[in-house]
Amino acid sequence: MGKQEINKKIAICFPNKDASPETFIQAQIDLLPADLVLYGGWLPKFYNDNIIITSRLNQRLNRLSTLIFRKPVFSYNYELNKLLKKNNISTILAQFGPSGVALLPFCKKYNYKLIVHFHGFDASVYEILESNKDKYLEMFFFAKKIIVVSNIMKRTMIDLCCPTNKIALIPYGPNDIFFENQPTYESNTFFSIGRFVNKKAPYLTLIAFYELQKEFPMVKLRMAGTGELLNACKNMAKAWSIEDNVEFLGVIKPEQTKIEMENALAFVQHSVIADNGDSEGTPVAVLEAQAAALPVISTYHAGIPDVVINGVSGILVNETDVFDMKAAMKKVFLDRDLAKKMGNNGRKRIEENFTMTKYIQKLRNCIYEI
């Protein structure tokens, strides 16, 4: 390890430990790598393996001191700074805009370099943008870099008055295991994976599939993931009597996702802008599907057109247009040579532009250049 790397140790901060399995965060932790992992809220409460930043003893002393003297003995900022100094941290990489906002006063007070990585909702939900408008502006001018994952997100940051020279466009990369897939394109199964939430609109994917199934009763749809809309989608499948054609897989691991993609004909995802403005960044599953050599059928939404070339590596339709999505699914179902061609084109594009290696190297360059 060179002197530059030693002097530029980083702490990665994300809101909760449950988010760490997400591809982009876990990749940063493992591959950058992270010298310290902070989590437990926008302002982190824990580090590494559930160790409390402010010790229980100090918390008790604070309560006692507050009771007697009406002020705490130990401050959170003091404890966090002590932890970072002990680990020779010079830079904090904050995941999501609100985390950057929460850490901003601390970084300003103790002179830590701050990099903020936006991912989707933090750059799109109307309430978050409105309530953090002034705070984002202050953060933009203090932070060394603002990382975005799509061109549309970059435009949003510019509209919010972020200096363009601080914006780094760094799309995600898929897990390398998906490049091992060798689909035969003989399957009658479409595959979808993602949270069952409004911006991913799984019900619209289901409607498009239902229309396709009317014409081709042998087609199948396998949907992985969980979320607030899962039960509604299950009820839709029951109401339409297509339970034999649709299987809900729940949460699955990358290894199983790889198998599902290898046994599928195409990947489908009907992303839309939710009523509250919530939008995708660049969906990792779309990248994984293309790495797995599957044609992608999706929407002109957020960062998806940045990575899927319509008519080349997949087919994109307008948001909420379920009949165009049904037509796109029918097209690849009837033309397996086209499905294979699009799948191979997608894999080549990912290999050339969006690998995990490229994602991590761009992040490293972003960190080291500051």
Question: What does the buried/exposed string (b/e) look like for 120-137 if buried means 16 or more CB atoms within 10 Å of the residue's CB?
Answer: bbbbbbeebbeebeeebe
pLDDT of residue 171: 95
339: helix, strand or coil: helix
Whether residue 254 is preceded by a cis peptide bond, meaning omega within 30 degrees of 0, is no
345: its two tokens: 């084109």
pLDDT of residue 6: 42
pLDDT of residue 50: 85
Report the candidate in 141, 176, 155, 185 with the shortest Cα–Cα distance to residue 303: 155
Distant-in-sequence, close-in-space partners of 191: CB < 8 Å, separation ≥ 6: 221, 222, 223, 224, 260, 261, 264, 266, 267, 268, 289, 294
Nearest-5° angle of CA 8, CA 368, CA 54? 40
Give the whole-angstrom CA distance, residue 4 versus residue 2. 5
Instruction: Classify burial at 68, counting beta carbons within 10 Å of its beta carbon; exposed 0-12, middle 13-18, buried 19 or more.
Output: exposed
Main-chain dihedrals φ then ψ at residue 246, nearest 5 degrees:
-120, 130
Give the whole-angstrom CA distance, residue 356 versus residue 257. 17
* Amino acid symbol at 370: I
Give the whole-angstrom CA distance, residue 366 versus residue 166. 10
271: its two tokens: 């992303």
Sheet holding 314-317, edge to edge: 246-250, 220-224, 189-193, 266-268, 296-299, 314-317
* Amino acid symbol at 61: L
pLDDT of residue 76: 79
Measured torsion, CA atoms of residues 128, 134, 136, 142, in degrees rounded to the nearest 10: -160
Report the candidate in 301, 306, 333 with the shortest Cα–Cα distance to residue 318: 301
pLDDT of residue 4: 46
Beta strand ranges found along the chain (DSSP E)? 9-14, 36-39, 46-47, 51-52, 89-95, 113-117, 145-148, 167-169, 189-193, 220-224, 246-250, 266-268, 296-299, 314-317
Q: What single-letter DSSP state applies at residue 57?
A: H
Domains of the chain: 3-171+355-368 (3.40.50.2000), 176-353 (3.40.50.2000)
**Residues facing residue 310 across a β-bridge:** 314
Encode the chain (370 residues) as per-residue pLDDT tens digits. Answer: 443 444 569 999 999 876 544 678 888 999 999 999 999 999 998 998 888 887 666 666 656 656 676 666 556 788 899 999 999 999 999 999 999 999 999 999 999 999 999 999 999 999 999 999 999 999 999 999 999 999 999 999 999 999 999 999 999 999 999 999 999 999 999 999 999 999 999 999 999 999 999 999 999 999 999 999 999 999 999 999 999 999 999 999 999 999 999 999 999 999 999 999 999 999 999 999 999 999 999 999 999 999 999 999 999 999 999 999 999 999 999 999 999 999 999 999 999 999 999 999 999 999 988 8
Give the whole-angstrom CA distance, residue 170 versus residue 134. 25
CA-to-CA separations, 177 to 31, 83, 143, 291, 292, in angstroms, rounded: 15, 36, 34, 9, 8
Give this prediction's pTM: 0.91
